[in-house]
Amino acid sequence: MEKQFMLGNEAIARGAFEAGVKVVAGYPGTPATEIVDHCAAYPGVYAEWSTNEKHAFEVAGGASLTNQRSLAVMKHNGTNAAADFLMHINFTGVKAGMVLISADDPGGLSSQCEEDTRVLIHNYAHVPVFDPANIQEAYEMTKAAFELSEQTEVLFALRPVMRINHAGGMITYGDKTSVERKAEFIPDRSRFVMSAVVEKEYGGELRPKMRHRWLNNKQNELKAIMETSPFNWAEEGEGEVGFIACGIGYAFLKEAEQIYGKKLPVLKISTLPLPEQKVLQFVKQYKRIVVLEEIEPVVERLIKQLCFENKIMLDVLGREGYLPAEGELSANLVLTAVESAVAGQAFPNAVPGNYIPARTRTQCSGCSHRGLLAALQAVIRKNGGIVTGDIGCHDAGTFEPMKLQATIYCMGSSIPMAYGIKAAGFDKPAYALIGDSTFFHNGLTGLASAIANGANITVIVAYNSTTAMTGFQPHPGTGRSLTIEHGNPIDPGVVAEAMGAKVYRCNPYQVEETAKVLAEAAEQEGVKVVIAEALCYLKFGREGRVSYISRDVSINTEVCNGCSLCVRTFGCPSMTISEGKAVIDKSSCNGCGVCIWVCKRGAIQ
């Protein structure tokens, strides 16, 4: 065994490698992204960035049925996108060990929503879940998940949260222990063909019902496994209040315990299904139990049900009416919960703190999206249009100072929402702004639907040739995969034209020309697609490749009247106002020159 400092995602990848994973597929999304990158660095592992999470899940599923261990990696939003496949592979089961990583983001620190995917994965799909309390456990759980998945023929899930994925610490790890196996696919249609057909061997019963019974029967086997799992244990302590801590909740409880100064009675639970006998043995000792979990009352409700069925009377306090029902846990919050529960008091209401101004979300200096957003802002001021947004660096345009996109929901929603707005009778232009990676992720089907239904919208594809927001991952429009530089990018404009859209092209660094294209496209009937193409400065600028002619931009202080429009409406982080005049920070300015178009007085030169 060796020790090494690792981040959580690195430790998870290490666990997968040691378990003999052969195929890894995912779609980039914080906090899970780096797991795929680390897996790709190991010998003998095929790793890819799929076009979306459902496809990644299906790639991993195909590998498992071919007798190779596989890993599907995604954040919680992606698990939603992959739910269709989840609700089929749970019924069929797997062949070689298969693990789903569904990384949650309590508090929505880097997501458009906070969510607890235990509800979808376990409560709904009845798939077993490991919930790690620390990085070491995430590594060990990953290895165990592969073994147990293969043993039970059931998909296993690991649900790390942001504080696990991005934490760092010393990890004790080992060597790869699994042996190479032959890749073989043996057809088993009664199992792997999910269809409403009659099963003769089961007296004419329909296959979906038969596979559902198989999944239900597996639950007792899974419960027995979790009862003896090394990831669940009880700790003796002082007091009449017991604490059940799940996943990262256990880490916060141990930190709070040190501050509190007394050893608390604790039951650590990091698995679903619950270790029911352990739970019953623990709760029978107390009249009050506090459940600490991220973020829905999943375990809390299961314990309440278990106590009811076993006629155990006690108070079970947690996210359902005691602790805050939203937001992530913290050591301070847990300490307050301990003190309040021990004192027999309600959890105190949150006291609003003083507002501390924060820097607004924005693009990098030199980003091509800023020119596109500035042009689009100028156009809709004239034509009264509306902009539906999507996920990506460009979504910062919805915040100060641009305040441009009116909606941002989930991957690919901009296009259907735009033509939904038009279908409702909106009589002004509707623009859908989507990034190139998102276009391939889930924009193509929305575009096809818009064209097929005769929509009248303008779709803008911000084509910067990378998945910039999550760390420059490739996508089908980049000409490379995670491991191969094949030089054959799929041009979103060519695809859109083949589908029947009228296609326009522009370079967003040329703001005036871009504004003309956006205005002209909106005047035409039907579905128009504007390809706003310029390389991501942050990625390609390092390689000496940019989509503009660099210039030394400066402020003519005699012309500048201090109106601050360049700061209040444009938002480049290299521009500020000092002593009543605009100032350009030369240390961060990348010389794109887009700001020259913003100042109508000509003070930016």
Instruction: Enter the DSSP assignment of 161.
Output: B
259 — pLDDT class (breaks 50, 70, 90):
very high
User: Do 559 and 538 share a structural domain?
Assistant: no
593: domain CATH number is 3.30.70.20
Closest among 39, 112, 36, 126 to 81, alpha carbons compared: 112
Is there a domain that residue 359 lies in?
Answer: no
Q: Which of 224, 255, 288 is the last residue of a domain?
A: 224
Domain that holds residue 430: 368-545
Q: Note whether residue 131 is domain-resident.
A: yes
Answer whether residue 26 is part of any domain: yes
450/531 same-domain check: yes
Cβ neighbourhood burial of 374 (10 Å; 0-12, 13-18, 19+): buried
As a whole number of Å, the end-to-end CA separation of the chain is 62
Flag whether pLDDT at 340 surpasses 90. Answer: yes
405 and 462 both lie in a single domain? yes
Mean pLDDT across the chain, nearest whole number? 94
Q: What is the pLDDT of residue 485?
A: 80
| Tens-digit pLDDT profile for residues 102-152 | 999 999 998 989 999 999 999 999 999 999 999 999 999 999 999 999 999
Over residues 457-482, mean pLDDT:
92
Domain closes at, from 545, 571, 592: 545
- Asked, for residue 468, whether it belongs to a domain, the answer is yes
Statement: residue 179 has pLDDT above 80: no
Give the pLDDT of residue 199.
84
Count of other CB atoms within 10 angstroms of residue 411: 25
pLDDT in tens, 376-412: 999 999 999 999 999 999 988 898 888 999 999 999 9
The backbone torsions φ and ψ at residue 452, rounded to the nearest 5 degrees and listed phi first, read -65, -30
33: left (phi over 0), alpha (psi -120 to 50) or beta: alpha
Number of structural domains in the chain: 4
Q: What is the mean predicted confidence (pLDDT) over 433-453?
A: 96
* pLDDT attached to residue 287: 92
Q: What is the mean pLDDT of residues 501-519?
A: 97
For the chain, the residue count is: 605
**356 part of a folded domain:** no
303 and 163 in a single domain? The answer is no
Look up the CATH number of the domain holding residue 376: 3.40.50.970
The answer on 140 and 18 residing in a single domain is yes
pLDDT value of residue 506: 97
Q: Tell whether 309 and 432 lie within a shared domain.
A: no
Do residues 255 and 131 touch, judged by C-beta distance below 8 A?
Answer: no
User: Do 243 and 269 lie in a common domain?
Assistant: yes
Which residues, in sequence order, are bridge partners of residue 46? 23
**Residues 183, 35 within the same domain:** yes
Q: Is residue 362 part of a domain?
A: no
Instruction: Record the pTM.
Output: 0.93
Question: For residue 330, how many C-alpha atoms fall within 13 Å in the half-sphere facing its CB?
Answer: 7
User: Closest by alpha carbon to 69, among 118, 138, 135, 142?
Assistant: 142
Query: CA–CA separation, 65 vs 74, rounded Å?
Result: 20
The verdict on 154 and 93 lying in the same domain is yes
Tokens (6 digits) for 83: 């739910």
| Same-domain status, 454 and 508 | yes
Q: What is the C-alpha R_g of the chain?
A: 27
CATH number at residue 301: 3.40.50.920
In 3D space, the residue among 52, 36, 101 whose CA is nearest the CA of residue 483 turns out to be 36
Domain boundary among 519, 545, 571: 545
Report the alpha-carbon distance of residue 257 to residue 262 in Å, rounded.
6
Answer whether residue 399 is part of any domain.
yes
C-alpha to C-alpha distance for 230 and 226, rounded to whole angstroms: 8
Question: Does residue 30 surpass a pLDDT of 80?
Answer: yes
What is the per-residue pLDDT across 518-573, written as a single tens digit (0 to 9) for each? 999 999 999 999 999 999 999 999 999 999 999 999 999 999 999 998 898 888 99
* Extended beta strands in 403-500, E state: 407-408, 430-435, 457-463
* Span 51-86, pLDDT tens digits: 999 999 999 999 999 999 999 999 999 999 999 999
**Which value, to the nearest 10 degrees, does the dihedral of the CA atoms of residues 111, 134, 227, 315 take?**
-70
Question: Across-strand partners of 316?
Answer: 289
Asked if 219 and 253 sit in the same domain, the reply is no
Residue 347 in any domain: the answer is no
pLDDT in tens, 233-245: 999 999 999 999 9
- Classify 217 as helix, strand or coil: helix
Upper half-sphere CA count for residue 442 (Cβ side, 13 Å): 19
Residues 328, 408 within the same domain: no
Whole-number pLDDT of residue 399: 87
Q: How confident is the model at residue 204 (pLDDT cuts 50, 70, 90)?
A: confident
